[in-house]
Amino acid sequence: MRVIAGPEKKARLLSEKEQRITAYHEMGHALVGHFLENTDPVHKITIVSRGQALGLTISLPTEDRYIMGKTALVETIAMTLGGRAAEDLVFHEITTGASNDLEKVTDIAKRMVMRYGMSDKLGPRVLGRNADMPFLGREMGHEPDYSEELAREIDDEVRRIIEEGHELALRVLREHLDDLHRISQILIERETIDKDQFERLLAGETEEQVFPEEVSSTPETPPTAEEKQKRPQPKPRPVPFPGATMQPPPEGSTT
C-alpha cells in the first residue's frame, strides 16, 4: 500500500461529512468494479489518507493483459467514475474528489477516439499526430492535422463515451443501492476493507461475522502492597537438617 499510494497522512483529519463522502466515493468505485465483468478485481478499499488521496480503492489484475477491447475500456471508465456517480446518487452533489478520476477517463476516451479507432461516428482512423513520439518537436507533436469541425466531432465523441461510462456506473449503483449504503457505513467504522471481507459482505454475511471482535488480553495489574498483606500467607514448611530425610512422626507422638 505504501509503495502504491505513499505513506499514511495521520495528521490529515477529515471532518465527519468529508469522511462519509469519501467512504461512499470509494465504495462506488468498488461496487461498480466488482459487478462489471471486464474490470480488475477489487483488492482493498480504504479511507485512510495516503499521499494526495483522501481514500483509495485498489484493483489488481488476475493475469497479464496486453490488449483491451472496447467494452473493457468503457467498463474501466465506468469503474473510474463510480466514485463520482456515488456522490451524485447519494448526496445529489459532486465534489473535487473526482478530479483525478476525470483526468483518467478523459485520457482513455481520447485514445479510444483518436488512437484506437473505436468511434463508430469517426471511423477506424488515427486522428492527430502522436505527441508521444520523441523524434517529433514539441510544437509539431501537438499540432492537430484536422479541421476545427472535426475537432468538435472528436470532443463530442469523447464526451459521449465518458457519459456512457457514467450512466453505466449509475445503473450498477442503483441496482445495488442497499449494498452501497450498508458497506459504506462499515467502511466508515473500519476504515479499511480487504478483498475477502468485501466479497463476504456482498455475499450477505453480517459485520459481526466478517469482523469478529478479538478478545482483548489485558495484562493483570500487579497487586498493591496493601492487597498483598490482606492475602492469607501460607504456613512455613519445616526445613530438614542437611542429610536428614523428612518422615512423618510416629503414631501417638506429639510434635
Report d(CA 29, CA 82) in Å as an integer.
4
Q: Which helix (H) or strand (E) holds 44?
A: strand 42-46
- Within a 10 A sphere around the Cβ of 116, how many other Cβ atoms? 16
Q: Can you tell me the distance from the alpha carbon of 247 to that of 245, in angstroms, rounded to the nearest whole number?
A: 6
Out of 26, 75, 87, 157, the active site residue is: 26
How far, rounded to the nearest angstrom, does the alpha carbon of residue 202 sit from its chain's CA centroid? 15
26 noted as active-site residue = yes
| For helices 16-35 and 148-175, angle between their N-to-C axes, nearest 10 degrees | 100
Cell numbers representing residue 116 in the block: 484506437
Task: Count other C-beta atoms under 10 Å from residue 30's C-beta.
Answer: 30
Question: Which residues are 57's β-sheet partners?
Answer: 45
Alpha carbon distance, N-terminus to C-terminus of the chain: 75
Looking at the annotation, which residues are catalytic? Answer: 26
